[in-house]
A and B are shown apart, each in its own frame.
Chain A
Amino acid sequence: MDTSVSYRIFRVFNAIVMLLVVLVTLYPFLYLVAQSFSSEAAIYAGKVSIFPVEFTSATYQLILGKPDFYRYYGNTILYSALGTFIAVFGTAVLAYPLSKERLRLNKFFIPFVLFTMYFSGGLIPNFILISKTLHMRDTMWAIIIPGAISAFNVILMKTFFASLPNEVEEAAKVDGLGGYGVFFRIILPLSKPILATITLFCIVGIWNNWFGPALYLQSKEKWPVALYLRQIIDSTVSTAEVGASAESSAQIAATIKSAAMVLTSLPIICIYPFVQKYFVQGMMIGSVKG
């Protein structure tokens, strides 16, 4: 064990750096939470830092008393659930054959998928195709489908599948399972870490998606909570660039902004520690040679 003076100095230095990173990372969250539970007067006076001042839960009661909020929240949950299911399933179905080295046509299909990582249609051609040609505008499909399968996730999943021992599959075939049976009954159950990883990425991607809905969803009743949140946050600034009309130009209190931000990010922050174990494992296996 290294016990030299310089190593001990290094360890103290390292501990300080880690502490600083943790504090700087957490501070904005703590600030938002504190602000959301504080009185407007205390915030205006600049008294709030990481502890609530003049504690009140009135802001939360106000937001949670609005039926609108639940509708937007419900939309977000629907889009995230459905979109994630389609995305994870599609990614797995594509990655599985690509992981088989014996498929000779993969020499063509793998570059076909990879190329989309380095070049893409760009904003305007995508917008025209989705809204004018495929008429997906103002439907939830416009925000769920186009981004569902990404080359990056396919490669992660493909690498994971390739790491599974071939013998498992051979044994299942001897037991009489066909190609589809092997995939659904053997491969998918063995791939929980990578499935959990991609699931988390997809949920987060759709949950947090703001630009897609801003671009494609005109009907307010279809909005996800991210759009509603943006309207609350920017209520004092022009919302013209999003194409949405401001509900009111009255200044919305900092407490409401903070509480809305806390409520929107809460589910992600809550599920995240529980799936972290899986996605670290999934990234480890998927990224080797990835």
Chain B
Amino acid sequence: MGTMIRKQVKTRTKERDTLLQHVRKEWVLYSFLVVPVLYFLIFKYAPMLGNIIAFRKYRGGPNFLGTEWVGLKYFEMFMKDPTFWRAFRNNLLLSIFYLIIRFPLTLIFALLINELKNIGIKKFVQTVSYLPHFISTVIVAGMVKELLSLNGPVNMLLQQIGLPKLSFISLPEWFPTIYISSGIWQALGWGTILYLAAMTNINTELYEAARIDGANRFKLAWHVTIPGILPTIMTLLILDIGGILGSNFEKILLLYNPLTYETADVISTYVYRIGISGGSFSYATAVGLFEGIIGLILVTTANYVSRRTTKSSLW
């Protein structure tokens, strides 16, 4: 009976319906899409279209598409603005160092968790290390300020080993260290979750075969585990490369201050200050659009290179 129905279905789909017939037949499923697609048009695609005010004058009010064309005026303006280039440089440096340090650490941590034999300990380490991911940036920034305050544990330690106390939060040379280390605290555990998920999907026969060939644990990790999770590694790397002009915007906004702009101001905080605080909407949009387009180019390029070299890609 069941096979008969399936046969009928098969023969029916063979003679392909026209698109209209197809939509009519599946209209219940398609009806699910109506509201969400409208939602995407209004809240995701309309703002993309709103980027047009980078080329047009926006005079306030509800017309978010601006009033008259001004060409590349705003782009020329920020290209000549040293503050923009400072934000650009800071952004690149923070993101690249963060990526270079965090990426391998996360992978190593995932491999080490995978080696834990005691299920209870493994669960405990995972539970604890995922936790910071769920903590509000406001609290993370608050913790950083408390830990680094003049009476906080870091300065107490410095005092005990005979070094002078430092007011870390207002020293520009310390900002990258604070940003990167707090970022690793937040992201290390959570970053392993996709690797660990991918590791559980590796065929155990591969391990058996390698073990019979005399591979030790280090070789198993290198020749079986890492190739097994390579698609995941590449996916995450492509996304991270695309986000190199992005940043943990909230955290920087909460941790920086005029004393540390020199190293802490990044593109998104710059956009925020000149756009929202300063009211130069079109100018700020031009800077934001620049960041968005570079991001798109980076992610596309990384995807292309990865598809060519490792055969894994996002699309």
Contacts and interface: CB of A to CB of B under 8 A. Distances in A.
Contact of B275 (A17, A119, A127, A234): A127
A94 interface: yes
Nearest to B6: A170
B146 A257 contact: yes
Given A119-B48, A120-B47, A233-B141, A25 B131 contact: yes
Interface stretch (B77-85, B94-102, B171-179, B185-193): B185-193
B37 A261 contact: no
Interface stretch (A57-65, A66-74, A99-107): A99-107
Contacts of A128: 50, 53, 58, 64, 281
A276 B127 CA distance: 7
A28 B217 contact: no
Nearest to A182: B28
Contacts, number: 255
Contacts of B44: 116, 120-121
Nearest to B44: A116
Contacts of B141: 233
A250 interface: no
Contacts of A114: 315
Given A109-B33, A132-B64, A28 B143 contact: yes
Interface centre among B47, B137, B151 (most CB of A within 10 A): B47
Interface in A103-148: 103-105, 109, 112-114, 116, 118-129, 132-135, 145-146, 148
B32 A94 contact: yes
A168 interface: no
Contact of B135 (A45, A183, A265): A265
A170 B2 CA distance: 10
A243 interface: yes
Given A112-B40, A264-B136, 9 more contacts: A22-B128, A31-B143, A97-B30, A124-B275, A208-B135, A241-B273, A261-B142, A283-B197, A287-B198
B62 interface: yes
A39 B23 CA distance: 69
A199 interface: no
Contact of A129 (B47, B138, B142): B47
A90 B37 CA distance: 10
Nearest to A24: B185
Interface string A149-165: 10000000000000000
Given A204-B134, A229-B139, A179 B29 contact: yes
Nearest to B35: A93
A176 interface: no
Given A102-B26, A149-B39, A265-B139, A287 B60 contact: no
B237 to A, nearest CB: 15
A46 B48 contact: no
A288 B201 contact: yes
B288 interface: yes
B72 interface: no
A32 B64 CA distance: 44
A120 B46 CA distance: 10
A175 interface: no
Contact of A25 (B36, B121, B132): B132
Contacts of A25: 128-129, 131-132, 185, 189
Interface residues of A, number: 95
Contact of A126 (B29, B35, B47): B47
A190 interface: no
A273 B127 contact: yes
Contact of A121 (B46, B132, B232): B46
A18 interface: yes
Closest 6 pairs between A and B when the two form their complex, measured CB to CB: A121-B47, A125-B50, A179-B28, A208-B136, A94-B36, A122-B288
Contacts of B242: 118
Contacts of B13: 102
B129 A121 contact: no
Given A129-B47, A261-B143, A288-B201, A243 B19 contact: no
A122 B51 contact: yes
A113 B40 contact: yes
Given A22-B125, A132-B61, A284-B197, A122 B109 contact: no
B193 A10 contact: no
B70 interface: no
A85 interface: no
Contacts of B285: 122, 124-125
B131 A122 contact: no
Contact of A119 (B115, B130, B296): B296
Given A90-B39, A116-B40, A179-B29, A46 B115 contact: no
Contacts of A31: 143, 146-147, 153
Contact of B200 (A26, A43, A284): A284
A257 B142 contact: yes
A63 B125 CA distance: 33
Contacts of B281: 124, 128
B277 interface: yes
30 contacts: A2-B217, A10-B217, A18-B112, A18-B116, A26-B128, A28-B147, A46-B151, A94-B32, A94-B36, A103-B26, A103-B29, A112-B37, A118-B242, A119-B48, A121-B50, A125-B47, A125-B288, A129-B64, A145-B43, A146-B43, A170-B5, A179-B29, A210-B137, A210-B254, A230-B138, A230-B254, A241-B273, A257-B142, A276-B126, A280-B193
